Amino acid sequence: MIEKIKETFQESIDPDQIKLAPPPQKEMGDICAPVGFLLTKTLKKNPFEIVSLLAEKMSSVSEFKDVQPAKPGYVNFFYSESFIEESVKEILENEKALDFNPIEKTFFLEYVSANPTGPLHIGHGRWAALGDSAARLLKKIGYKVYQEFYVNDAGNQVENLKKTVEALKSGKPVPEDGYHGEYVQDALKSELEPQAFFLEEQKKTLEKFRCAFDSFYSEKSLHESGAIEKAIRLLKEKGVLYEQEGALWFRSTDYGDDKDRVLIKSDGNYTYFAPDIAYHLTKIERGGDELIDILGADHHGYVKRITAAVSALSEKKVKLDILIGQLVNLFRNGDPVRMSKRSGEIITLDEVMDEIGVDALRYILVSKKHTQTVDFDLEEVKKQSKDNPVFYIQYAFARIHSIKKNIEEKDYQPEINFKNLEESERQLLLFMLRFKDEVYKSALNFDPQILAAYLFDLASLFHQFYEKNRVIDQGNPVKYRLAIIETVSKVLEEGLSLLGMAAPKRM
């Protein structure tokens, strides 16, 4: 529908400059375009004159029953009933109405990537919820997405963990730089090596959290396969490495970094950075057209160097987006809970999931912009669970199916006839026509929050509709309202699934 408006404007304006938005008040129209300001100079007319002309031109388009110019320089559109009917018919009768065309491009999405030295915590949960929902959204709009967890199973952290476990087994005190949390005890019971044990635990947690990783990529395997040497050789060929004071450096400042970085230390060992470069090289080699890394804010100092490395390796052809997720500060009754694995206390992601449920947790973690730090009080969330937005949305879905349950199958005959809509019905239907646009915007911004907010607003409009209008009136189903609730049901179900949430028919 946006395209049609753009086409009409095209003769006089660059279509990319046209923006559409819902007007501040519904009396003003169904959708509006602040377009009068764009041409004041070229046409030498004031904004309102321009807008008046355009409104007249547009009024013949069948999608609209009315098009009006507005004060400073807006055009306000009112959709025709037949347009709404056509659109709803498409959603209800075409299985693929909410699908997008496939695009030949693969996103390589890396997220969580926790050290295998303990259980996942709430911060990991945030990247998990964000990454998994972003993946679902990108797939929805037609991209291929490969989701991967990078396992840091080769560094000092793992060595320290092993030392800790050995010390515990032989009854010795835990080393200074070891792990002091009680959870380490769990690894003693397992026959697996401790890092393998914790990786398995993390996989179970992620599965429970409904994250579908395509693979878990081992850092150790990079050392064993010679991938690191290969990456360094490649960089050497490109002439971006040099030796100084016995160490091998990458001239990352050529690609926007603040300082050059060491790859091989003067003692001959790799820095952490070296295998990470090799890892990103494998993503490019494995067909990633565009890479996305989701990192916690405590690693943001890493952004420039890894971006530099990907630029150097791919000759700037592969784009790397790094999403910096701000941290989650966990509280209990107002007191901060420490989340360091080295300190004693840790609240695991598993525990939080058990307390408030997967649906609620996923929604909470995704309903806030990832650029915002989240203060998360466990007791508060438990208290509020009844007022939690996720229940509000799911309740809308449950109400619809409760209505359907009360109707005999032979009487269930939705009819798309919207000639005499109540205002609440009209608003609800128009809002649903925005669904695909919202999904698209949400996906391309890697921001599930946009969809989460949309679903909340949709639920709100449905509840209003439900209060004002009877679907079953005096025992008789109102056919056109069946078409409305059927559409809401379809959109809600689709939207919830994109956030990895259930759509329960009964609550």
Partner RNA sequence: GCGCCAAUAGCUCAGUUGGAUAGAGCAACAGCCUUCUAAGCUGUGGGUCAGAGGUUCAAAUCCUCUUUGGCGUACCA
Interface with RNA in residues 77-116 (CB under 7 A): 115
Q: Which stretch binds RNA (CB under 7 A): 98-106, 224-232, 265-273, 286-294?
A: 265-273
From candidates 89, 230, 319, 401, binder to RNA by CB under 7 A: 401
CB of 491 to RNA, least distance (A): 17
From candidates 327, 355, 493, 502, binder to RNA by CB under 7 A: 327
Q: Which stretch binds RNA (CB under 7 A): 138-146, 194-202, 281-289, 381-389?
A: 381-389
Residue 402 near RNA by CB under 7 A: yes
Nearer to RNA (CB atom), residue 61 or residue 327: 327
Q: Which stretch binds RNA (CB under 7 A): 95-103, 124-132, 135-143, 321-329?
A: 321-329
Phi/psi region, residue 109 (left: phi>0; alpha: psi -120 to 50; beta: rest), is: beta
Residue 8 near RNA by CB under 7 A: no
Residue 502 near RNA by CB under 7 A: no
Residue 341 near RNA by CB under 7 A: no
CB of 327 to RNA, least distance (A): 6
From candidates 319, 332, 441, 490, binder to RNA by CB under 7 A: 441
Residue 44 near RNA by CB under 7 A: no
CB of 95 to RNA, least distance (A): 26
Coil, strand or helix at 247:
strand
Nearer to RNA (CB atom), residue 100 or residue 456: 456
Coil, strand or helix at 76:
strand
> 311 pairs with which residues across the strands?
none
CB 466, CB 401: distance < 8 Å: no
Residue 12 near RNA by CB under 7 A: no
Nearer to RNA (CB atom), residue 105 or residue 265: 265
Residue 375 near RNA by CB under 7 A: yes
From candidates 8, 12, 427, 460, binder to RNA by CB under 7 A: 460
CB of 496 to RNA, least distance (A): 15
Nearer to RNA (CB atom), residue 266 or residue 497: 266
Residue 412 near RNA by CB under 7 A: no
CB of 379 to RNA, least distance (A): 13
268-271 contacts at long range (C-beta below 8 A, 24 or more positions apart): 270/228
Residue 458 near RNA by CB under 7 A: no
Report 278-297 residues binding RNA (CB under 7 A).
297
CB 346, CB 392: distance < 8 Å: no
Residue 337 near RNA by CB under 7 A: no
What residue type is 440 in one-letter code?
Y
CB of 453 to RNA, least distance (A): 4
In a 10 Å sphere around its CB, with 0-12 CB exposed, 13-18 middle and 19+ buried, how is residue 341 labelled?
A: buried
Alpha-carbon span 479 to 489, nearest angstrom: 15
Cα–Cα distances in angstroms (integers) from residue 317 to residues 30, 289, 314, 320, in the given order:
42, 9, 5, 10
Q: Which stretch binds RNA (CB under 7 A): 178-186, 412-420, 426-434, 458-466?
A: 458-466
173-179 contacts at long range (C-beta below 8 A, 24 or more positions apart): 179/117, 179/118, 179/341, 179/342
Coil, strand or helix at 482:
helix
Report 175-234 residues binding RNA (CB under 7 A).
none
Report 475-494 residues binding RNA (CB under 7 A).
none
Alpha-carbon span 251 to 240, nearest angstrom: 5
Q: Which stretch binds RNA (CB under 7 A): 57-65, 103-111, 134-142, 456-464?
A: 456-464
Collect all residues with Cβ–Cβ distance below 8 Å to 10 and sequence separation of at least 6.
none
Residue 236 near RNA by CB under 7 A: no
CB of 439 to RNA, least distance (A): 13
Residue in the block written with tokens 């000639």 = 419
Q: Which stretch binds RNA (CB under 7 A): 204-212, 226-234, 346-354, 461-469?
A: 461-469
Residue 428 near RNA by CB under 7 A: no
Report 18-37 residues binding RNA (CB under 7 A).
19, 21, 23-25, 28-29, 32, 34, 37
From candidates 43, 61, 398, 502, binder to RNA by CB under 7 A: 398
From candidates 49, 78, 155, 193, binder to RNA by CB under 7 A: 155
Residue 409 near RNA by CB under 7 A: no
Alpha-carbon span 10 to 15, nearest angstrom: 6
> 243 pairs with which residues across the strands?
248
Paired tokens of 244: 């100084």
Cα–Cα distances in angstroms (integers) from residue 259 to residues 59, 250, 305, 320, 495, in the given order:
60, 9, 9, 19, 44
Side-chain-side CA neighbours of 3 within 13 Å: the count stands at 1
Nearer to RNA (CB atom), residue 272 or residue 412: 272
Residue 371 near RNA by CB under 7 A: yes
Alpha-carbon span 7 to 9, nearest angstrom: 5
Phi, psi (degrees; rounded to nearest 5) at 78: -120, 120
DSSP codes joined into one string, 294-360: EEEGGGGGGHHHHHHHHHHHHTT-SEEEEEEEPPEEEEETTEE----SSSS---BHHHHHHHH-HHH
CB of 458 to RNA, least distance (A): 11
Number of residues that bind RNA (CB under 7 A): 90
